[in-house]
Amino acid sequence: MSSEAGRYEFTPAQNEILTRTATWTRLVAWILIASAGLMAVGAILTGEASAIGALIASAIYFIIGLNFRDAATSMRSVTETAGNDIEHLMTGLDKLGSALKVMGILLLVGVVLFVAATVSIWTWMGSIEA
């Protein structure tokens, strides 16, 4: 078996797609990280009880941002290195998948909380009218 088994290099066109994807992924990462920082500073400056929720949200944004940043770095590595394209791509997809999983879970929790709040308000409003 040759030492080249399992090695794959993407074509220039494929590398261009990965470069564009990495660029946008990195931009989203830095927006999330910056938002997390601003949210944390705002929470600390208010000093209110609601600041705890904002600090938790900022930590979540920060973690998601780091996963996006790591995904972008791995995708960029595909285009800048030779010999490990598949490994770099799989690492990038794993990091991207982690970020999307956290976001998906949070969106589902948000929808459930929204529905529960809406039903509670309707129930409460109905009890006032009766």
Look over the chain and give the mean of its residue pLDDT values, rounded to a whole number: 89
Please indicate, yes or no, if residue 116 is contained in any of the structural domains. Answer: no
Which pLDDT value is given to residue 29? 96
Which pLDDT value is given to residue 6? 57
Total domains in the chain come to 1
DSSP letter string, 59-127: HHHHHHHHHHHHHHHHHHHHHH-SS-HHHHHHHHHHHHHHHHHHHHHHHHHHHHHHHHHHHHHHHHHHH
User: Does the predicted model carry a pTM greater than 0.85?
Assistant: no
Q: Which helix (H) or strand (E) holds 11?
A: none
What span, in angstroms and rounded, lies between the C-alpha atoms of 93 and 105? 18
Please indicate, yes or no, if residue 5 is contained in any of the structural domains. Answer: no
What averages of pLDDT result for each successive group of 10 residues across the chain (130 residues)? 63 92 96 95 86 90 94 92 88 93 93 94 83
What span, in angstroms and rounded, lies between the C-alpha atoms of 95 and 66? 9
Please indicate, yes or no, if residue 63 is contained in any of the structural domains. Answer: yes
pLDDT in tens, 56-86: 989 999 999 999 999 999 999 989 988 888 9
The Cα-based distances of 123 to 76, 101, 113 in angstroms read: 52, 33, 15
Please indicate, yes or no, if residue 98 is contained in any of the structural domains. Answer: yes
68: closest CA among 40, 42, 33?
33
Domain region containing 74 = 12-102
Which pLDDT value is given to residue 62? 94
